[in-house]
């Protein structure tokens, strides 16, 4: 291209000039060449070690437009002196002004000429020259600056700057010397090894361009984790640190049995209404809970019977709800409304497991995945969200232990000073909502729900009665929105999400803010 050709020409010009001088200074040797062109040519020569150069960044004085005028016509005071000198009889101020033709030049020039003692007032009040001749230093200095862009006398420079005749301008120049491979011609460097070079053998003598390992790579557009997934990753680390095992949460559709009945949620409970739950119309019914494969030796029939009994007439010391429990209701298919359905299935599995002492071993499980609720959609709610859920099963656990564990768990996220409020869940007793003080909102905000699973739920699945289970849940969206400072959930999920926002956002640390 033409720019390449001209930068090639410039490179050759530089080489030619260097052959006649030890050092070149671009400001004197190439005063009219753009510094970016010079740099391109010098880099080209520099990469071949044909020249070495230093870049000099400095500020140089240049004339303002008034400075240009003075450099051409002389200073105001010099012009006043000249007019007065030529009037042999002296001059009235009015005449001076008329001759010069500029009021402010006359006024300023007169004052300065008086100060310099170049003119004085005669007896009749007329202006007369006090000296034979003068040197117009202002003009001389400006002319020097105009041609050399230097001003050796810093006091003079400061004065000229103050009078707005001169300003400083950024300037890039180069000091250039011969390099170890200096030559007058630029030999062509190969950038590719071609099959022709191989077949003719010319590769043996070809000059290859060295790799530039300092070149920046091209910006790669890679995939990016969604902020929710980044925060999920943080939660997973916390759980793993605390010895939890992750539950499989790939079953979005559950039967009413696993989502509600097994959790001792009565069939008339408002949560099971169309209001909150999305029911599946096709297929119409789920099958009864059954073994997943031939390795699954769990007793589903007893479990099913126990759940029916605990609702209908009570069992294991509980009087139950005493209503007519419907099998059909239990076999309705729903989009799971909470991941506690998954925890329930895992606890049922635990009940069939035997530790070294012949009893179900203590266990810690967690899950983080989607749940669905038929809720009014607003700035902070969607019909689906992610639940972070944990369960701890162990012998003789107490409520104090749950509060203690919650403190440890939330501390890992940088949340301190928890408050616990008694609450109600059909499947836990006691139940506690967990609050923490939010500095930004200046109030206590709910951050989670928790409790100890009821014996009606645990004993129905044949867990020993002294094995107690803590459970707690929170949304993944709330901490994510707080961390990424998002106020509308639609910025985080759905068709309005700005993909640049997703890509740009850094990873977060829950414990750092």
Residue selected from 351, 471, 478, 510 as contacting ligand PHE according to rule CB under 6 A: 471
Interactions with ligand PHE, residue window 434-453 (CB under 6 A):
449-451
Q: Provide the 10 A C-beta neighbour count for residue 293.
A: 5
Q: Are 271 and 340 in contact (CB under 8 A)?
A: no
DSSP 48-82: TTSEEEEEEEEEEEEE-HHHHHHHHH--HHHHHHH
**How far apart are CB 464 and ligand PHE at their closest, in Å?**
20
CA–CA separation, 303 vs 148, rounded Å?
99
Name the packing angle between helices 35-47 and 2-18 (round to 10°): 70
**How far apart are CB 220 and ligand PHE at their closest, in Å?**
41
The residues, ordered by sequence, that sit 6+ positions from 396 with a Cβ below 8 Å of its Cβ are 466, 468
**How far apart are CB 431 and ligand PHE at their closest, in Å?**
6
**How far apart are CB 509 and ligand PHE at their closest, in Å?**
25
Residue 44 in contact with ligand PHE, rule: CB under 6 A: no
Question: Among residues 74 and 390, whose Cβ is nearest to ligand PHE?
Answer: 390
**How far apart are CB 231 and ligand PHE at their closest, in Å?**
18
Question: Among residues 231 and 342, whose Cβ is nearest to ligand PHE?
Answer: 342
Q: Are 95 and 125 in contact (CB under 8 A)?
A: no
Residue 428 in contact with ligand PHE, rule: CB under 6 A: yes
CA–CA separation, 266 vs 425, rounded Å?
11
Residue 473 in contact with ligand PHE, rule: CB under 6 A: yes
Question: Among residues 227 and 471, whose Cβ is nearest to ligand PHE?
Answer: 471
Question: Among residues 113 and 263, whose Cβ is nearest to ligand PHE?
Answer: 263
Quote the distance between the C-alpha of residue 193 and its chain's center.
Answer: 41
Q: Which helix (H) or strand (E) holds 470?
A: strand 467-475
Q: Which is it for strands 467-475 and 384-395: parallel, antiparallel or unpaired?
A: antiparallel
Residue 61 in contact with ligand PHE, rule: CB under 6 A: no
Residue selected from 340, 344, 367, 480 as contacting ligand PHE according to rule CB under 6 A: 340
Interactions with ligand PHE, residue window 4-43 (CB under 6 A):
none
**How far apart are CB 427 and ligand PHE at their closest, in Å?**
7
| Number of shown-chain residues binding ligand PHE (CB under 6 A) | 11
Q: If you ran DSSP here, which 8-state letter would residue 208 be given?
A: B
Question: Among residues 35 and 431, whose Cβ is nearest to ligand PHE?
Answer: 431
CA–CA separation, 30 vs 88, rounded Å?
50
Residue 472 in contact with ligand PHE, rule: CB under 6 A: yes
CA–CA separation, 455 vs 306, rounded Å?
12
Q: Site map for ligand PHE, 451-470, x if CB under 6 A?
A: x-------------------
Three-class SS state of 452: strand
Residue 479 in contact with ligand PHE, rule: CB under 6 A: no
Question: Among residues 100 and 346, whose Cβ is nearest to ligand PHE?
Answer: 346
Sign (positive/negative) of CA torsion 350, 355, 361, 366? negative
Interactions with ligand PHE, residue window 76-115 (CB under 6 A):
none
Residue 389 in contact with ligand PHE, rule: CB under 6 A: yes
Residue 478 in contact with ligand PHE, rule: CB under 6 A: no
Three-class SS state of 287: coil
In this structure, the dihedral spanned by the alpha carbons of residues 418, 419, 425 and 430, taken in order and rounded to 10 degrees, is 100
Ramachandran region of residue 246, left (φ > 0), alpha (ψ -120 to 50) or beta? beta
Question: Among residues 160 and 391, whose Cβ is nearest to ligand PHE?
Answer: 391
**How far apart are CB 272 and ligand PHE at their closest, in Å?**
13
**How far apart are CB 473 and ligand PHE at their closest, in Å?**
3
Residue 369 in contact with ligand PHE, rule: CB under 6 A: no
Q: What angle do CA 203, 207, 210 make, to 5 degrees?
A: 115
Residue 173 in contact with ligand PHE, rule: CB under 6 A: no
Residue 425 in contact with ligand PHE, rule: CB under 6 A: yes
CA–CA separation, 79 vs 199, rounded Å?
80
CA–CA separation, 194 vs 206, rounded Å?
11
Binding site for ligand PHE (CB under 6 A): 338, 340, 389, 425, 428, 449-451, 471-473
């Amino acid at each position: 291209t033409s720019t390449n050709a001209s930068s090639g020409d410039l490179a050759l010009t530089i080489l030619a000039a260097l052959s006649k001088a030890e050092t070149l200074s671009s400001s004197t040797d190439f005063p009219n060449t753009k510094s970016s062109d010079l740099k391109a040519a010098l880099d080209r020569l520099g990469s071949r070690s044909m020249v070495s150069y230093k870049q000099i960044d400095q500020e140089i004085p240049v004339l303002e437009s008034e400075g240009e005028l003075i450099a051409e016509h002389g200073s105001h005071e010099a012009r006043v002196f000249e007019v007065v000198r030529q009037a042999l009889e002296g001059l009235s101020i009015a005449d001076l002004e008329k001759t010069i033709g500029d009021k402010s030049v006359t006024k300023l020039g007169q004052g300065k000429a008086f100060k310099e003692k170049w003119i004085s007032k005669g007896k009749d009040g007329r202006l007369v020259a006090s000296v034979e001749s003068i040197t117009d230093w202002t003009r001389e200095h400006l002319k020097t600056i105009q041609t050399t862009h230097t001003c050796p006398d810093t006091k003079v420079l400061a004065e000229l700057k103050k009078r707005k005749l001169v300003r400083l301008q950024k300037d890039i120049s180069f000091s250039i010397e011969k390099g170890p491979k200096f030559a007058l011609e630029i030999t062509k460097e190969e950038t590719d090894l071609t099959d022709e070079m191989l077949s003719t053998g010319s590769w043996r003598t070809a000059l290859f361009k060295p790799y530039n390992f300092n070149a920046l790579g091209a910006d790669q557009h890679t995939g990016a984790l969604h902020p929710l997934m980044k925060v999920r990753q943080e939660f997973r680390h916390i759980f793993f640190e605390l010895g939890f095992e992750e539950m499989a949460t790939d079953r979005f559709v559950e039967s009413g049995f696993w989502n509600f009945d097994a959790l001792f949620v009565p069939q008339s409970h408002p949560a099971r209404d169309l209001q909150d739950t999305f029911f599946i119309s096709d297929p119409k019914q789920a099958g009864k809970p059954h073994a997943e494969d031939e390795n699954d030796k769990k007793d589903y029939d007893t479990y099913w019977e126990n759940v029916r009994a605990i609702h209908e007439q009570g069992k294991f010391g509980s009087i139950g709800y005493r209503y007519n429990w419907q099998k059909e209701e239990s076999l309705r298919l729903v989009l799971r409304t909470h991941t506690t359905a998954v925890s329930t299935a895992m606890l049922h599995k635990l009940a069939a497991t035997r530790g070294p002492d012949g009893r179900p071993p203590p266990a810690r499980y967690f899950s983080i995945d989607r749940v669905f609720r038929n809720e009014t959609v607003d700035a902070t709610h969607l019909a689906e969200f992610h639940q972070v859920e944990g369960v701890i099963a162990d012998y003789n656990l107490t409520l104090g232990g749950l509060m203690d564990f919650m403190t440890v768990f939330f501390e890992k996220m940088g949340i301190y000073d928890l408050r616990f409020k008694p609450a109600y869940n059909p499947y836990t007793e006691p139940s506690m909502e967990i609050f923490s003080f939010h500095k930004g909102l200046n109030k206590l905000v709910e951050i989670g729900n928790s409790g100890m699973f009821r014996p009606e739920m645990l004993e129905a699945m044949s867990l020993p009665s002294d094995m107690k289970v803590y459970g707690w849940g929170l949304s993944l969206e709330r901490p994510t929105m707080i961390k990424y400072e998002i106020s509308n959930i639609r910025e985080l999920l759905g068709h309005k999400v700005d993909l640049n926002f997703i890509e740009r956002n850094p990873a977060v640390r829950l414990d750092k803010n």
